[in-house]
Amino acid sequence: MKKGTIVSVLFVLTALLFSACGKSGNDKVTENSPEVEYAYVPEYTQLGGGSLLYFSYIQFAGDSLFYKEIFFDPVNQQQEQILKQYSLTENKIMREMDANSQPEDGQRRHIGQYYALKDGRLYTTESVSSSASRREFVCAYDAEWNRIWEQDITDILNQIERGSSADHIAVDSEGRICLALSKALCLFDAEGMHLADVMMENEFILGLSVDRDGGVYACYQKEYIDSGYCLAQVDFEKGTQGAIYQNFPDVRSNTITFSAGLESDFLTIGADYLYGYDIATQSAKELLSWAEYGMNGGGVKAVGIGENGEILAFYSDTSENFLVTMERVEAASLPKKTQIVIGCFGDGYQQEAAAFNRQSDNCYVTVKNYAVAEDGTGKDVQDFVTELSMALATGIDCPDILVLGDMELYQMDIEAMAENGAFADLEPFLEESASLKAEDYLENALDCYRYAGALVGIPTSIDVETVVGKTSDVGEESG
């Protein structure tokens, strides 16, 4: 807590404490491991953002990025949606279309899902509504985004689930269309004529994608069974679910974003890694760590492969949106980066770590959340204390920096850990810092984190508890 108005009070820690893990300030910081054959050189292009603007329904196709730009119009007091095509080679918007149009006949047309081809053609699902009715359509647009045809599919969807609309759309190499509802696939030919419905009664469909050869695949999970994720190929000829492939990366999400890969059949977004999935072996592997390349996996909304084989990602944080182009190079051609691990209990710091990593040339930060187990289940504070104490004692899987709140601190014997040399002395770091100085802090605030003559933590905030009373009852002198 930096100096401000001084009040005679009792200081109570309620926020965070930072401490370095290890017997010195840098002996726990290690270089990237394990050794990898390839690495990536990222380039970030800012696409705009702000509190009133966000992007959704994002897809890479050919040399373009397609997305919906969603914002609140303060004049009309309503949300607006604009579908846009952004050229990756010319770095500009090529065309756009209102996804919420209001025709003169009083019927409102809304573009829900869409699928873009490499040449810019679009296939969409659209709802047309008035005060009296609502109809659902599947539509096709040419490369200039002129509507070629539309087919009314309201009755087809109502036979599956009344009042439903498509959650996902994909188009195969022959122009045939697959729509996904929560538990069914609807198949159409290249002119939008209905072919078949594929019911998946005990399975939740989480996403659709198309492989390099133009085949459509659905990602699904069994209902009520922790069976992981599977892929099912869509068989348009037979109007059925085709071959099933197991062990698709379990990214624990209600919506799966996956797309055709280059060496892997599919790319899919995980919380920490970009995964490649191989159909022949039904196995996945980690291709890159989001943190190392300045991104938090929760903010990566879409991935794809560029025209020259580079990995493309659309990344969004709270206020900015980025197109990230990652060119693959020989790992040996790049300087080594030092990894710094921040340990905390609960969500947070991922975006800060990502922002730091985007501008750092010699190190990168990853965040280890001790509140979540490897299987995604939650852990309580005592589990955290036990795991962290073991890491500090053994030096195995030990974070370099700890960010702790009062709930965790009250259950840890920081003094005993400090006396056993678990923490680095932060005094030299504070003396060398260009942004923090000891004189900026109240002396007794820093004293709370001094043990055996060493400053083991730096508080970010301190709560104040005080007593107010009538002078007739408590007197006129403080203290």
Q: Is the pLDDT of residue 160 over 70?
A: yes
DSSP symbol at 372: B
Weakest mean pLDDT among 172-181, 353-362, 401-410: 401-410
CA distances to 34, 86, 185, 460 from 407, rounded to whole Å, are 35, 47, 48, 15
Look at residue 227 in the predicted model and tell me its pLDDT. Answer: 61
Average pLDDT over every residue of 179-204: 92
Look at residue 271 in the predicted model and tell me its pLDDT. Answer: 83
Q: Is the pLDDT of residue 167 over 90?
A: yes
Count CA atoms closer than 13 A to 2's CA, side-chain side. Answer: 4
Look at residue 330 in the predicted model and tell me its pLDDT. Answer: 84
Look at residue 446 in the predicted model and tell me its pLDDT. Answer: 84
Q: Is the pLDDT of residue 2 over 70?
A: no
Look at residue 102 in the predicted model and tell me its pLDDT. Answer: 67
Band the pLDDT of 225: cuts 50, 70, 90. low
Number of H helices, E strands in the chain: 8, 35
Name the most confidently modeled range: 25-29, 151-155, 442-446, 475-479.
151-155
Look at residue 13 in the predicted model and tell me its pLDDT. Answer: 37
Q: How far apart are CA 285 and CA 248, in angstroms?
A: 10
Nearest CA among 449, 460, 249 for reference residue 349? 460
Nearest CA among 377, 386, 378, 460 for reference residue 16? 460
**Does 255 or 163 have the greater pLDDT score?**
163
Q: Is the pLDDT of residue 378 over 60?
A: yes
Q: Is the pLDDT of residue 28 over 50?
A: no
With tokens 């309201």, the residue in question is 154
The token pair that represents 42 in the structure block: 């990222």
Radius of gyration of the chain (CA): 27
> Would you say 310 and 382 are in contact if contact means Cβ atoms under 8 Å apart?
no
Q: Is the pLDDT of residue 153 over 50?
A: yes
Average pLDDT over every residue of 446-468: 80
Question: What value does the mean pLDDT of the chain take?
Answer: 82
Weakest mean pLDDT among 104-113, 374-383, 432-441, 469-478: 374-383
Band the pLDDT of 124: cuts 50, 70, 90. very high
Band the pLDDT of 20: cuts 50, 70, 90. very low
Average pLDDT over every residue of 370-399: 77
Please tell me whether residue 358 adopts helix, strand or coil conformation.
helix
> Would you say 217 and 168 are in contact if contact means Cβ atoms under 8 Å apart?
no
pLDDT tens-digit map of 43-80: 988 886 554 456 788 999 999 999 998 887 777 777 78
Question: Which residues fall within 8 angstroms of residue 325, CB to CB, at 6 or more apart?
Answer: 42, 43, 45, 88, 306, 310, 311, 312
Q: How far apart are CA 25 and CA 23, in angstroms?
A: 7
Band the pLDDT of 359: cuts 50, 70, 90. confident
Look at residue 18 in the predicted model and tell me its pLDDT. Answer: 42
Look at residue 384 in the predicted model and tell me its pLDDT. Answer: 77
Q: How far apart are CA 303 and CA 300, in angstroms?
A: 8
Look at residue 36 in the predicted model and tell me its pLDDT. Answer: 63
Look at residue 67 in the predicted model and tell me its pLDDT. Answer: 93
In the chain, what percentage of residues exceed pLDDT 90? 36
> Would you say 261 and 213 are in contact if contact means Cβ atoms under 8 Å apart?
no
pLDDT tens-digit map of 388-430: 878 877 778 888 888 877 777 777 777 888 887 888 888 888 8
The token pair that represents 323 in the structure block: 């197109």
Q: How far apart are CA 353 and CA 5, in angstroms?
A: 32
Nearest CA among 368, 355, 283, 361 for reference residue 319? 355
Look at residue 231 in the predicted model and tell me its pLDDT. Answer: 93
Which value, to the nearest 10 degrees, does the dihedral of the CA atoms of residues 22, 27, 31, 33 take? -50
Q: What is the DSSP string of 65-107?
A: EEEEEEEEETTTTEEEEEEEEEETTTTEEEEEEESEE--TTS-
**Does 239 or 445 have the greater pLDDT score?**
239
pLDDT tens-digit map of 278-302: 999 999 999 998 888 888 888 899 9
pTM: 0.77
Q: How far apart are CA 118 and CA 141, in angstroms?
A: 13
> Would you say 188 and 197 are in contact if contact means Cβ atoms under 8 Å apart?
no
Residue positions counted in the chain: 479
Among left, alpha and beta (phi > 0; psi -120 to 50; other), residue 356 is alpha
Strand ranges of the sheet holding 321-330, from the earlier edge strand across to the other edge = 38-48, 321-330, 311-316, 300-305
DSSP symbol at 21: B
**Does 197 or 252 have the greater pLDDT score?**
197
Average pLDDT over every residue of 114-118: 96
Nearest CA among 299, 312, 331 for reference residue 42? 312
Strand ranges of the sheet holding 258-260, from the earlier edge strand across to the other edge = 258-260, 266-269, 273-278, 283-289
Question: What's domain 41-335's architecture?
Answer: 7 Propeller (2.130)
The residue ranges of DSSP E strands in 99-228, in sequence order, are 100-101, 108-116, 122-129, 134-141, 147-152, 168-171, 177-180, 184-188, 194-199, 203-210, 216-222
Average pLDDT over every residue of 13-30: 39
pLDDT tens-digit map of 229-248: 899 999 999 999 999 999 99
DSSP symbol at 2: B
Please tell me whether residue 359 adopts helix, strand or coil conformation.
helix
Q: Which residues pair with 125 in a beta bridge?
A: 138
Q: How far apart are CA 360 and CA 176, in angstroms?
A: 46
| Angle, vertex CA 277, rays to CA 167 and CA 210, nearest 5 | 40
Band the pLDDT of 453: cuts 50, 70, 90. confident
CATH 2.130.10.10-classified regions of the chain: 41-335
Look at residue 31 in the predicted model and tell me its pLDDT. Answer: 41
The token pair that represents 120 in the structure block: 């810019």
CA distances to 46, 144, 268 from 67, rounded to whole Å, are 14, 16, 18
